[in-house]
């Protein structure tokens, strides 16, 4: 595991009752900004499957 980006975590909270899309978007953004831990295996598989679909969506807008 790498170093936690505390500033990023403080500014990018996982939405309460996050949808699957919001959860995926948050973990994609997290993987790009912070090296504190890998995403859960189910999310890692989804990230890999979507690797060629473009930039990570904004987890706060749900897009």
Which pTM does this prediction carry? 0.71
What count of other Cβ atoms lies within 10 Å of the Cβ of residue 30? 22
pLDDT surpassing 70 at residue 28: yes
Model confidence at 50, in pLDDT bands (50, 70, 90)? Answer: confident
Percent of the chain past pLDDT 70, that is, above it, reads 79
pLDDT at position 49 is: 87
> What's the Cα-to-Cα distance from 34 to each of 1, 5, 41, rounded to whole Å?
10, 5, 17
| Average pLDDT, integer, range 6-15 | 93
Give 55's DSSP letter. S
Q: Parse the chain into domains and list their residue ranges.
A: 1-13+20-63
């Amino acid at each position: 595991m790498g170093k936690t980006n505390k500033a990023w975590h403080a500014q990018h909270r996982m939405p309460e009752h996050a949808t699957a899309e919001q959860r995926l978007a948050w973990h994609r953004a997290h993987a790009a900004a912070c090296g504190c831990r890998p995403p859960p295996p189910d999310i890692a598989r989804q990230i890999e499957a979507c690797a060629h679909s473009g930039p990570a969506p904004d987890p706060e807008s749900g897009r």
